[in-house]
Amino acid sequence: MALGKKLSPLFFGLVLLVGLLAFLNWPQEQSGQTIATKLTPVKVYEVSKKLFPVTIEALGTATANESVTLTAQVADTVSRVLFDDGDKVEAGQLLVQLNSKEEVARVAQLQVSLEEARRQLSRIKNLAKTSAASEQLLDEQQALVKSLEAQIAVANAQLDDLQIKAPFNGRLGIRRVSVGSLVRPADEITTLDDISVIKVDFNVAENHLASMALGQKVTAKSVAYPGREFSGEITAIDSRIDPVTRSILSRAVINNPEAELRPGMLMQVTIEKQVLDTLVIPEEALVPNADKQFVYVVAENNLVSEREVIVGERRPGWVQIVEGLNAGEQIIVEGTLRVRDGSEVRVLNRDTLES
């Protein structure tokens, strides 16, 4: 009770006066630093015009320029195999010889008969000049010669069926037969692919049809060659759109002189629609709200203003701004979740901006 009497209102007034004087005389520099440290730190990006390629992405399958599975035309045994797995061959090169002894003998027999028939025809023609031989006999002999010639042509064709040749230049696959094997029609002997040029078939959505054209440049990537791009061009666009997928089949051709690409590869195809000279910003600067997009613009006095923007084309990490920003303005790209319209911020990278 005695202590309460000692603490008079005059004492309390003296304490308040001392506190007020201490606050008024606090060093200004230290106070400024305290305020600065309370400002939200952000990083900004300076809006500028850039060349912005608009592309179409698609997945495609690589196929050979020409491809065939070599089979026999007739059933017979293999007498010679003239290739190894993976050989490069030229058009017309003999790869497999089937047993042809009977056919060779047949051709030889017909050839002898033809030579004899021609000699008889020559003799009859001479006799016919002196009327020693009738016209009917001459006609019969000429028919016999033509018949033998036709039989020889058939026998030679049968002989050709016993030879398996390369129909075009290319690279062979795995050999499926050996000497002595019995092969029948449709039995696979090997495969032959011309991979000097690779075709890539891919589908694009129908809304891109107006941007597709023959001769349009494309680039393709494969997981087999990380970081590599293979250039080509569109050579065909299908005449119909798939009514189920609403996409159109297209084909691009890529030169493959080193045989790096192989049929069956999955290719990531990029088609360049057009190149825009437009305002571009990092995608991370966008703040979605319902069906609209906003960005935070930082003025020279470090005050933030929220602004709605209209977004155009997109690429991974970047977007085109159609409306809402001007070149040279600075927008927040890091720290957007910590600011509001009217906030004051501390820009961390203003001196090192890379537009």
Among the residue ranges 75-84, 102-111, 132-141, 179-188, the one predicted with the least confidence is 132-141
Least confident of 124-138, 207-221, 318-332: 124-138
Rounded mean pLDDT, 130-147: 78
**Ranges in the chain annotated CATH 2.40.50.100:** 73-96+165-186
Class for the domain spanning 100-161: mainly alpha
* CATH 1.10.287 residue ranges for the chain: 100-161
Q: Is the pLDDT of residue 128 over 80?
A: no
For position 101, what pLDDT does the model report?
83
Q: Which of 24-38, 92-106, 110-124, 260-274 has the lowest mean pLDDT?
A: 24-38
CATH 2.40.420.20 domain locations along the chain:
40-50+277-352
What CATH number has the domain spanning 40-50+277-352?
2.40.420.20
CATH for the stretch 73-96+165-186? 2.40.50.100
What is the value of pTM for the model shown? 0.60
Q: Give the number of residues written for the chain.
A: 355
pLDDT of residue 32: 44
Give the three-class secondary structure for 354. Answer: coil
Dig out the tokens for 58 from the structure.
Answer: 């698609």
Rounded-to-integer distance, Cα 314 and Cα 294, Å: 16
Of 262, 81, 111, nearest in space to 183 by CA: 81
CATH number, span 56-64+195-275: 2.40.30.170
